Amino acid sequence: MKLDIPIPQSVRIAGIGGQGNILAALILAEALMKQGYWVVQSQSFGAQVRGGTSYADVLYCNRPIDYPATELFDVLYCMHESVLGVFLNRLAKNGVLLIDSDQVKRIPRMVNHITKKIVSVPMTKIAREKAGNARYANMVGLGVLAKSTDVVKKEFLLKAIEEHVPEQHIEANKRAVEEGYNSVEKTYRLRREERYGFLGRGFE
């Protein structure tokens, strides 16, 4: 009898300290839990409040998750140019790459070897112009994630925001999610079948 090994779906939100990637991951994790998944959310950050590489991961699965980390991510949401090169090799083959095009000007050419599913949206600009402050760019990103992938449903994101954001910012954050959601058209489906790689990465 083969033992069941739960292989969760995974999202990494990477940026620099202060961009709100941990809050975004927290809200995504809460939303996914409301959707009925088992969720693990972890993070890595430096000692400084602003700057320095910082990322937060969300893993979700229909069963309890044993190992709380993963080698490759199905979605990489990149908030800042300085971290794109660092984490690109952690994106799964044909995974979805979300990019804030205001913060990331140059995309390394090697991305073509990994995926063609690149969603590039001027998130900071949308946040500044439509939600009132560039700070809400992380929520615009979650809106983009909700529309461009089948990871999370928008209404659960909005509910999660109500629980985790200070009251005076709830409206603006929700608006940012809506604007992000409306800024993209295409939806990519993630693989639902469990990957179990005996063949290495890039094998075709």
Under the rule (CB under 8 A), what is the footprint of other proteins? Answer: 2-5, 26, 29-30, 33, 37-47, 64-69, 71
Residue 2 or 106: the one with the smaller Cβ distance to other proteins is 2
Picking from 70, 65, 13, the residue whose alpha carbon sits closest to that of residue 39 is 65
Token digits for 200?
């290495």
3-class secondary-structure state, position 61: strand
Q: Is 161 exposed, middle or buried (0-12, 13-18, 19+ CB in 10 A)?
A: buried
Shortest spacing between CB 3 and other proteins, in angstroms: 5
Residue 45 or 188: the one with the smaller Cβ distance to other proteins is 45
Per the rule left: phi > 0, alpha: psi between -120 and 50, beta: everything else, 6 is beta
Residue 26 or 75: the one with the smaller Cβ distance to other proteins is 26
Shortest spacing between CB 195 and other proteins, in angstroms: 14
Shortest spacing between CB 101 and other proteins, in angstroms: 29
Q: Which amino acid is at 165?
A: V
Shortest spacing between CB 138 and other proteins, in angstroms: 17
Residue 70 or 124: the one with the smaller Cβ distance to other proteins is 70
Q: Which amino acid is at 44?
A: S
Measured between alpha carbons, how far is residue 197 from residues 145, 175, 194 in Å? 26, 40, 9
State how far the Cα of 139 lies from the Cα of 142, in Å rounded to an integer: 5
Residue 37 or 181: the one with the smaller Cβ distance to other proteins is 37
Shortest spacing between CB 55 and other proteins, in angstroms: 12
